Structures are given as C-alpha cells and as structure tokens.
Amino acid sequence: MTHDPAHDASALPAPADDAATQAPTPTGADVRRGPLRLGDKVQLTDPRGRLHTITLATGATFHTHRGYLSHEDLVGLPEGSVVRNTAGIEYLALRPLLADYVLSMPRGAAVVYPKDAGQIVAMADIYPGARVVEAGVGSGALTMSLLRAVGDQGTVHSIERREDFAAIARGNVELFFGGEHPAWELSVGDLSDVLPQVAEKGSIDRVVLDMLAPWENLDAVADALAPGGVLICYVATATQLSRLAEDLRSDGRYAEPSAWESLVRGWHLEGLAVRPQHRMVGHTGFLLTARRLADGTVAPLRKRRPAKGSYPVAEEWTPEDLGERSVSDKRVRRVRRDVGQGAQLDPRTGQPLEPVEATTEDSVAPDGQAQDTQDVSDVLDND
Ligand SMILES: C[S@@+](CC[C@H](N)C(=O)[O-])C[C@H]1O[C@@H](n2cnc3c(N)ncnc32)[C@H](O)[C@@H]1O
C-alpha cells in the first residue's frame, strides 16, 4: 500500500499555539462548551422524559412535588451527567440545543419553528459574512439562526414595529449567546420606514420577512436588495401566499417566486415498534423565495401559461380563480341521480328533467364506470 502524506494525520501541520495567530472564538461558542457554570441554562430530563429548563444560580433549588436539588450540585459537572434530588429521583442534565431553547424560551409572538428556521437558512442561502435584514423579530427565535449563519463577520439588522416584542427578543438572543452579538442590530419601527434609513440601496444580500402582510414592504425590500439578492417570506395561510406571489409578479423587480412547505414527522423507536409518531405538527407556515433582478431587467416571460381564469377580474372568486374545473349542471344532475337522490324536477311542469346521457365531459372506463377525464397532469399544470 502506498503512503499518501495528504491522508496522514501526522503529516498535518501542528495546531498553532501562538494565541496571536488563532482566530477569535465565534460569539456564543464558549457558553456552549465545558463544565456547567452558574448562569447556564440547563435542561433536566426526568425519568418520564419530561423536560425542565432551569438557569443555574447561587443558592437556588429545583423543586418538584417529589423532592428538590440544589443548582450548585450541577455546577462543575460535564454535560450529560445524571444528578439525584433529595427523593432519589434522577435527572439527566444537558444544555439545551438551539432548537430546545427556542421552544422553551419566553415568547411575545409566535416563533418560527426550528424546522422552518433550518429551511430559511438553507433555501435563502444565508452564508457567513452575509448582510441580512429581518422583520418582524417577534420573540427573536429566527434571529438566532440567522446570526449563527452569518457569523461574527456578517450583519443581521432586525426590525420590529413593537417595542415590547423587540425587548423580549433582545433578552432571548443575548441570553442564548451569553451577551451582545457583534453582528446584530435591532431597530424598533415599521420595516418600510426603517429600512431605507438603515440600508443603502442595493446593499443587502438577503431579506427575511415573517409578518402578516409582507406584500406591503416589497417596494422597500426591492430598493434595499442587491441584484441577485434573495427575499424569503414565511406566511401562515394560503391566502397570504397567493397575495404575496401576485404582488411580487406585478412589482416587476423580482424573478418568478417559488413556494413550498415542509412537514416533519418524528419516529417512535422502541424495540420492533419502529414507526412514525402518532402526533405531529401538521402545519406551521409556507415559505416563498424570490430573487431580485438587476435594475432595468424584465423577467423573461414564463413558458407555461396559467390556467384560464387563474387571475380574478371580478371581486367574487370563482372555482376557475382557484384553478378548479367547473362542473356543468348536466353533470351535477347525473351525479345526483347516481347517488339515488332522484331527478331534478322542472319547476314549471313539475315533471323530471330530461335524463342525462354520458357526454364528452365524462368518459367510460373499461369496467363501465363513468370516470373523471381530468388527469393528474392537468391538475398540476394549473398551479
Ligand atoms: C410572528 S412574529 C415574528 C416571529 C419571529 N420570526 C420569531 O421567530 O420569533 C411577527 C412580528 O412581525 C412584526 N411586524 C409585523 N409587521 C411589521 C412591519 N411592517 N415592520 C416591522 N415589524 C412588523 C409584529 O409586530 C410581530 O412581532
């Protein structure tokens, strides 16, 4: 076997011990390592798997109806240690991960769940050194993922219209990172007022919006975004998603948006009983991304034409507006008869209306059953 120095650990340069040549430790890394210290958040898991989060403090105790333990019993232990309370009940002690922290921290507004925060960081391509703007901030859950992704050399400018929510977010973020984060700025105000004041035109790489009406800010965001920059929005309902997509298209400064949702299903792992968990978080929100075009560029026309009636012209929505196929009265009469609800009576004569023959609208399957002619690709082409 040949010796390849490139794969020989002994051939790698020794780690530099000169402190001056070492990169500074990224913000927050220190508080996530080493033995448990006073001020740390610690997650205690009891024998039933229930989680209890405490912040280690001098003289404090963790009480349940079955005994207590002193916080100081935990100080100095490595993470992953087991401690016993006065009743002999054992608890596993670990620092919460970011995903645990977000779900247990105090909240003013609903938080972006870790599964969506992961999607946002990946799909909006948030990279170390990126210049990111975020609004609203709510409880600061997403802010922490964004700060981790941009690192100390990037910037996250978070804008929140509610002063009280901004204060909660600051508390959560600073507790998580063990102090101020050098990449973070937080402004109180409405995004469309604040953004033009804090960001030069075309200077922002990524904009992340989690708010009720993101379409109200598309103008300010388009001004701030650099060509090729990414806008990512998180919305809770399909109606918000639709409004946002249409307004992005009519703005003209964004490329064609794409949207998706993610579903995460946990698994139960017990001996041979390895199966999906019975319960899951069925819906959190939808994500949409759109890229900023270069100034003066007109997006190429889409090759696929939207289904007829996809864009409402009247106030009232029709099935066509929603991409649904309309159903003729004739077909409804036939279905009604098929389900044994009798033929419709002619209101003038009181006699049954003409029986309905199978038409080109319906086709007949080999087994003689009438079937819907619309196939899956038609449905998919309507989107
Ligand atoms: C659902 S919360 C955001 C939660 C946050 N992403 C998190 O993970 O904790 C929505 C926030 O947007 C704020 N908001 C709504 N419209 C805004 C606007 N135009 N400018 C700034 N903040 C806005 C609201 O006050 C609210 O706090």
What distance in Å separates the CA atoms of residue 18 and residue 358, rounded to the nearest whole number? 86
Closest atom of ligand 1 to 140 CA is: 9
What distance in Å separates the CA atoms of residue 42 and residue 77, rounded to the nearest whole number? 11
**Ligand 1 pocket, residues with Cβ under 6 angstroms:** 109-112, 135-142, 159-162, 165, 190-191, 210-212, 217
What distance in Å separates the CA atoms of residue 79 and residue 31, rounded to the nearest whole number? 12
Using CB atoms within 10 Å of the CB of residue 169, give its burial: 0 to 12 exposed, 13 to 18 middle, 19+ buried. Answer: buried
Using CB atoms within 10 Å of the CB of residue 252, give its burial: 0 to 12 exposed, 13 to 18 middle, 19+ buried. Answer: exposed
Closest CA to 169 of 199, 142, 146: 142
pLDDT at 363 over 50: no
Closest atom of ligand 1 to 165 CA is: 27
Token digits of residue 57: 């403090």
**What share of the chain has pLDDT > 70, as a percent?**
77
Residue 194 has a pLDDT of 98
Q: Checking phi first, is residue 67 left (phi over 0); if not, alpha (psi -120 to 50) or beta? A: left
Which sign, positive or negative, has the C-alpha torsion 137, 141, 144, 150? negative
Cα first-last separation, the chain: 58
Give the distance, in angstroms, between the CA of residue 180 and the centroid of all CA atoms in the same chain. 25
What distance in Å separates the CA atoms of residue 229 and residue 200, rounded to the nearest whole number? 14
Ligand 1 binding pocket mutation candidate from 184, 210, 221, 286 (most atoms within 8 A of CB) = 210
Q: How sure is the predictor about 107, in pLDDT bands with cuts at 50, 70 and 90?
A: confident
Bigger pLDDT: 381 or 123? 123
Q: Output the residue whose Cα is nearest ligand 1's atom 23.
A: 136
Distance (angstroms) between ligand 1 centre and the Cα of 255 equals 25
Burial of 93-132, coded b for 16+ CB within 10 Å and e otherwise, reads bebbebebbbeebebbbebbbbebbebbbebbebeeebbb
Distance (angstroms) between ligand 1 centre and the Cα of 320 equals 34
Instruction: Give me the chain's average pLDDT, please.
Output: 85
pTM above 0.85, yes or no: no
Residues 220-238 have a mean pLDDT of 98
Ligand 1 binding pocket mutation candidate from 137, 139, 219, 286 (most atoms within 8 A of CB) = 137
Residue 293 has a pLDDT of 98
| Matching residue, tokens 């968990």 | 277
For the stretch 122-125, contacts whose Cβ atoms lie closer than 8 Å and that sit 24 or more positions apart, written own/partner, are: 123/232, 123/287, 123/289, 124/206, 124/208, 124/230, 124/232, 124/289, 125/206, 125/230
What distance in Å separates the CA atoms of residue 267 and residue 213, rounded to the nearest whole number? 35
Of 112-116, 261-265, 341-345, which gets the smallest average pLDDT? Answer: 341-345
Closest atom of ligand 1 to 213 CA is: 16
Of 153-162, 278-287, 345-354, which gets the smallest average pLDDT? Answer: 345-354
What distance in Å separates the CA atoms of residue 259 and residue 248, rounded to the nearest whole number? 12
Distance (angstroms) between ligand 1 centre and the Cα of 208 equals 11
Residue 49 has a pLDDT of 92
Residue-wise pLDDT for 331-346, tens only, equals 766 777 667 666 666 6
Q: Output the residue whose Cα is nearest ligand 1's atom 3.
A: 138
